[in-house]
Structure 1
Amino acid sequence: MGKIKKITKWLLGIIIVLYLCLCGFYYFFQDKLLFNTSAKLKPEHVFKFSEPFEERYISMPDNKKLNGVLFKAKESKGLILWFPGGRGMIDSIGVDSHFYTDLKYDLFILNYRGFGKSEGKISSEKQFNQDMQSVYDYFKKEYAENKIILLGYSLGTGPAAALASANNPKVLVLQAPYYSIKEEARRGFPYLPIDLLQRYEFSTYSSLQKTKCPVLIFHGDADKKIPVAQSYELEKKLKPTDQLIVLKDQGHNRFLENATYLKKLQQLIK
């Protein structure tokens, strides 16, 4: 009997140690889980697009430089600031730039720290949001604030919403947003004490409550990565004049192949 108790205590001890190791791994490596910088590009990488474009390097307060590509419309009415998902990948996003420049808006696609050709490393939510504000301030020197549209996709929706809540852009557009990163973490890791471990919150819902500009949310009812239920919850935080558009049979990607998305976007930003 005593031997069984010893074995039980030994196994229990191993389980506790392994669980604590798992918690420690999540706490210290959640940056890598959240931000996929595998698409890192060499500084000499050459972007190739059929549409007119120019590269921009924007200095941050700590002198690190973020890289992005600005696509120019023939007759520009303003700027769309695109905040991408967790992989960035300007090369793939940029091939569809004409959908936005055809709406007579310039389009800037940003790579976050450590993504693409951008320098530095993401270390906190505060730093991330400060970077986004620096990018916004940079473009306010070229475009009137009421002609700047913020467009966030997936991971980029939280930062885009936070930026909109602290400024006065023309419109905030969110594609496949989450209620908050903390809620996403709870859904993905229900066995971990997320409230103690999560260092990034990106509370989209709280930002929307403070956003003055018009908000348009697009979400596919077939999205398996971020369920449309997240947007239904966000809808409760919207102003009466804001809109949630649920796209039938739309997944997490390929919004530009959806005619309803293109039509609604054109109506909003005309």
Structure 2
Amino acid sequence: MLSSKLLSLVLPLIGFYALIVGALYAMQRPMIFQAGMSPTPPALNSVPGFQEVSHRTEDGLDLRALYRPAASKAPTLVYFHGNADGLSGSLRVTERLVAKGYGLLLVGYRGYDGNPGSPTESGLYADGRSVMRWLSEHGVPSSGTVLVGNSLGSGPATEIAATHPVAGLVLISGYTSLPDVAASAYPLIPVRLLMRDRFDNIGKINRVMAPILILHGTADQTIPYSHAVSLAGAAGNRAQLVPFEGIGHELVGSSSLSPAIDQWLSFLER
């Protein structure tokens, strides 16, 4: 039996641990969805070549996005941004692809960029379904779209690609699942039991029937390169994995990213 002295040492530690676990559980969504850190949204109607569009989600939210029609028969890229980012960051990331004539729909999530609502896993999926409906209603079927998801955005991009007949899926710094990411960051916390938002990309990617391009920095400390290897393995011969040596989680801002996407899209269009 533990002595009273040992108990007096152990019980406060157990209580402190329980307090940490409880705080992480309560604060998990603000930690995951850093909507308040996204840049100030641009004056959307003044962005050359783009128009601000509004689409209504199945749960009644009117969300704004940016849309640029494709030139000729080029595909339309549907871009799901990463965390602590928004439409202004999406514009910077995709500007090199604009010159190639691709259509672009830059998705604004609920709770980000001044949009109503609070972000959750199911909410971001609903936002993705909503933009796909909007595109279809405006003459762009899902078969004419390529979904691009960066970091957090790899979750909704994979979900929509697994449930819609899209032309392709591009994952930039994507993850196998959010619990896998959290388990690496908090090895002493039972995050796999606690997390409400899971974004199980590894469990869904084998249902994506379209070609898949996976781009990942080998020096990524936020979402390790091993996630990309696992995703490519789960996708089988439909996936192409392109490593970026020495680049971390800032891959989306690399000047070599857009040429890699453009090269793959050119091959896809043949």
C-alpha contact (below 8 Å) 2:79/2:107 kept by paired residues:
yes
Cα pair 1:41 1:117 within 8 Å, conserved: no
- How far apart in 2 are the matches of 1:178 and 1:254? 14
* Residue of structure 1 in register with 2:121 after alignment: 125
Shift, 1:61, TM fit: 2.1
Q: TM-score, normalised by structure 2?
A: 0.88
Alignment partner, residue 53 of structure 2 = 56
Structure 1 residue 76: Cα displacement: 5.7
Q: Distance in 2 between matches of 1:68 and 1:242?
A: 29
1:243-268 CA-partner distances (Å, limit 9, x unpaired): 11112233322445016524533434
Which ranges in structure 1 are unaligned for 5 or more consecutive residues?
none
1:224 is the counterpart of 2:230: no
Are 2:155 and 1:169 equivalent residues in the alignment?
Answer: no
Secondary structure of 1:257's match? coil
Question: TM-score, length-normalised on structure 1?
Answer: 0.88
Corresponding residue for residue 195 of structure 1:
192
Alignment match of 1:134 (pick from 121, 130, 137)? 130
1:203-222 correspondence runs (5 A): 203-222=200-219
- From 6, 9, 13, the equivalent of 2:7 is 9
The residue type paired with residue 58 of structure 1 is H
Distance 1:135 1:50 in 2: 19
Q: CA shift at 1:214, angstroms?
A: 0.9
Partner of 2:102: 105
Question: Match of 2:221, SS?
Answer: coil
Moved more, 14-23 or 48-57: 48-57
Q: Is the 8 A contact 2:77 2:148 kept in 1?
A: yes
Q: Given the alignment of the two structures, is residue 147 of structure 1 paired with residue 153 of structure 2, yes or no?
A: no
Verify: 1:267 aligned to 2:266, yes or no: yes
CA offsets, 1:98-140, max 9 Å, x none?
Answer: 3222222111111211111211112x42333222212222212
Aligned to 1:257: 255
**C-alpha RMSD over aligned residues:** 2.4
Structure (1 or 2) with the greater helix fraction: 2
Q: Specify the alignment match of 2:235 in structure 1.
A: 238
Change (3 A) 1:176 1:49: farther
Percent of aligned positions with the same letter in both sequences?
23
Q: Partners in 2 of 1:40 and 1:102 — Cα distance?
A: 26
Worse-matched range after superposition: 219-228 or 168-177: 219-228
Paired residue total = 265
Which runs of 5 or more structure 2 residues have no equivalent in the other structure?
none
Q: Measure how far apart 1:49 and its partner are.
A: 6.1
Label 1:50 to 1:126 Cα distance change in 2 as closer, same or farther (>3 A).
closer
Inter-partner Cα distance in structure 2 for 1:265 and 1:253 = 21
The CA distance in 2 between the partners of 1:262 and 1:147, in whole Å, is 16
What CA deviation, in whole Å up to 9, does each residue of 1:27-71 have, x standing for no partner? 12111111111246789x623766311112221122222221113
Q: Is the 8 A contact 1:103 1:266 kept in 2?
A: no
Q: Supply the distance in 2 between the matched residues of 1:28 and 1:134 (Cα, whole angstroms).
A: 29
